[in-house]
Amino acid sequence: MEKKASLKDIISHCKEYGFIFPSSEIYDGLSASYDYGPNGVQLKNNIKDYWWKSMVQLHENIVGLDAAILMHPKVWKASGHVDAFNDPMIDNKDSKKRYRADTLIEDYISKIDNKIEKEVTKAAKRFGDAFDKEQFVTTNPRVLKNVAKRDGVQERLNKALREDDLVELKNIIVDCEIACPDSGSRSWTDVRQFNLMFSMQFGALASEAENSVVYLRPETAQGIFVNFLNVKNATRQKVPFGIAQIGKAFRNEIIARQFIFRMREFEQMEMQFFVRPGEEMKWYNYWKEARMKWHQAVHPSEKLRYHDHEKLAHYANAALDIEFKFPMGFRELEGIHSRTDFDLSSHQDLSGKKLQYFDPEIKESYVPYVVETSIGLDRMFFAVIANGYTTEQVPNAKGGTDERTVLKIHPYLAPVKVAILPLLKTKPELTSKAREVFDLLKVITDCQYDEKDAIGRRYRRQDAIGTPICVTIDFDTLEDNTVTIRNRDTLEQERIAIDQLPNIILEKIKFPNL
Ligand code: GAP
């Protein structure tokens, strides 16, 4: 039987096995900052590689870019971030803790959802096979009461956000009797707007220079917009075409929390797809489906869903999230936005430079419309670990069972693809043969040579970091040049010839089936 992983289990596993460490830990850490350890950086690079290949390598009309993090401050004026990149913040007067007002309300809604789910689980147990979930949720008075309560609060929240109504946000918090999670106090300040951009002084003469404030970019997208003409001219791409970029972004989040879900420094993988005005909804739907397929190729469909935005950002005429079922529930993993011509037109207006495209097919110049796909690399990392983390009973050599923790992640993403294990460390003929196999395979993919401890313990270590294939070198290997390969998920073992290893391994770790 598999056990459900808690957030705590995942965080401690990530630390123990070198995926993620708290930042500056010897100084007690910096809140919501994390460092990626040896296995973490491998997994992160593999996710980047999966995204980059599926965007840039597989699409003739998408090209890459790596823009600077620091950009001219006017970029953020034009994009609207200086004036409108705000979150509604509220302080608790007793605990002096600061919160995002909308998040406090969303958490309240999640609690009602949990109550509904508990009722359903209880009833499913009570009624067994005869349980009809649909009938239960549409007739049970307690469930109906909670659904009505939840929908009512959600509707008020959506309206308040849509209308930037800070007074109403406070009213919802008061009406729902939401208490400070830290102190339990219900004494709140008014709700105020808080700009999320980090600013800094630029250059050695910073304090004397005027307009010397620059911002750490809160999204990578603007680096793409301001390079639209450069890229178009350099590559002779024709609309529709896309520019893809992976890079760091920074947001002074009011509360950064839930491990690497919401951080102040994070990484985005964004693609801006430039299209003919009027064709944006066609491409919006295309990318909506293409991105869902990308996720489904490495994650189960039931952990993924779409969520259409109620409140559209200042630049969008349509937007949705692809949500993933994290240990805390369904949350945004990727955003797909139809950004109209907002960004290019604003940069055109403020810079005075023409950012247009002459379309030879219709013989017209226009500012292209943009469909954006934007995924947080760290969130994808979190999703991969959370989905893969499994604790289960497996048969042991004594006829009983042992518990193992295994990361069942897609082999293409696994930090180590193959572990090479001599049966005994004390037999030089086995270790030198194993080294030969290691040298053969290390040029093909990421391998790890491990001779320490009993073979069972070595298997568990590899399971814990998600290594899909273990290759064991034993005494038969010395006779017939064959090895045992063990499958991480099924535990099945196969005997194969060493010269077949490269092809078999390449087949097992191949690019996900999109
Ligand atoms: N260019 C559009 C844009 O930035 P967004 O929805 O604000 O849109 C896109 O962000 C993605 O970036 C999100 O879906 C999420 O995966 C990731 N992201 C945003 N804020 C984050 C944070 N504070 N920590 C980690 N990831 C974050």
Kindly list the domain boundaries of the chain, sorted by start residue.
1-81+201-406, 86-195, 416-508
**Probe residue for ligand 1, chosen from 260, 332, 336 as the CB with the greatest number of ligand atoms within 8 Å:** 332
Q: Which atom of ligand 1 is nearest to the CA of 337?
A: 2
CA–CA separation, 113 and 84 (whole Å): 31
Pairing state between β 469-473 and 418-422: parallel
Q: For position 256, what pLDDT does the model report?
A: 74
Query: Fold for domain 86-195?
Result: Herpes Virus-1 (3.30.40)
Q: For position 1, what pLDDT does the model report?
A: 59
Q: Write the residue with the smallest CA distance to atom 12 of ligand 1.
A: 376
Distance 252 CA to ligand 1 centre (A): 12
Whose structure tokens read 């850490």?
29
Q: For position 202, what pLDDT does the model report?
A: 84
- The tokens describing 78, both together, are 């034009």
CA–CA separation, 331 and 407 (whole Å): 21
Q: For position 211, what pLDDT does the model report?
A: 63
pLDDT of 79 above 60: yes
Q: Which atom of ligand 1 is nearest to the CA of 251?
A: 23
Domain 416-508: homologous superfamily in CATH: Anticodon-binding domain (3.40.50.800)
pLDDT in tens, 118-176: 999 999 999 998 899 999 999 999 999 999 999 999 999 999 988 889 999 999 999 99
- Judge contact between 115 and 84, C-beta under 8 A: no
Q: Write the residue with the smallest CA distance to atom 16 of ligand 1.
A: 376
CA–CA separation, 391 and 403 (whole Å): 7
Q: Write the residue with the smallest CA distance to atom 27 of ligand 1.
A: 376
Q: Which atom of ligand 1 is nearest to the CA of 334?
A: 14
Pairing state between β 364-366 and 357-359: antiparallel
Mean pLDDT for the chain overall: 94
pLDDT in tens, 372-384: 999 999 999 999 9
CATH architecture of 1-81+201-406: 2-Layer Sandwich (3.30)
Distance 502 CA to ligand 1 centre (A): 39
Q: Which of 330, 200, 265 is nearest to 32 (CA)?
A: 265
CA–CA separation, 421 and 434 (whole Å): 7
Q: Which atom of ligand 1 is nearest to the CA of 261?
A: 25
pLDDT of 104 above 90: yes
Q: Which of 18, 169, 47 is nearest to 512 (CA)?
A: 47
Pairing state between β 389-395 and 401-407: antiparallel
* CATH fold match for the domains 1-81+201-406 and 416-508: no
pLDDT in tens, 419-476: 999 999 999 999 999 999 999 999 999 999 999 999 999 999 999 999 999 999 999 9
CB atoms within 10 A of CB 350: 14
Distance 461 CA to ligand 1 centre (A): 33
Pairing state between β 304-308 and 318-326: antiparallel
Q: For position 457, what pLDDT does the model report?
A: 93
Distance 208 CA to ligand 1 centre (A): 34
pTM of the model: 0.89
pLDDT of 209 above 70: no
- Judge contact between 276 and 359, C-beta under 8 A: yes
CA–CA separation, 493 and 469 (whole Å): 10
> Residue 325: in which H helix or E strand, if any?
strand 318-326
Q: Which atom of ligand 1 is nearest to the CA of 376?
A: 16
Distance 376 CA to ligand 1 centre (A): 5
CA–CA separation, 405 and 5 (whole Å): 10
Distance 251 CA to ligand 1 centre (A): 9
Q: Which atom of ligand 1 is nearest to the CA of 268?
A: 12
What are the pocket residues of ligand 1 if the criterion is a CB atom closer than 6 Å to any ligand atom? 219, 221, 251, 253, 262-263, 266, 268, 270, 332-335, 372, 374-376, 378-379
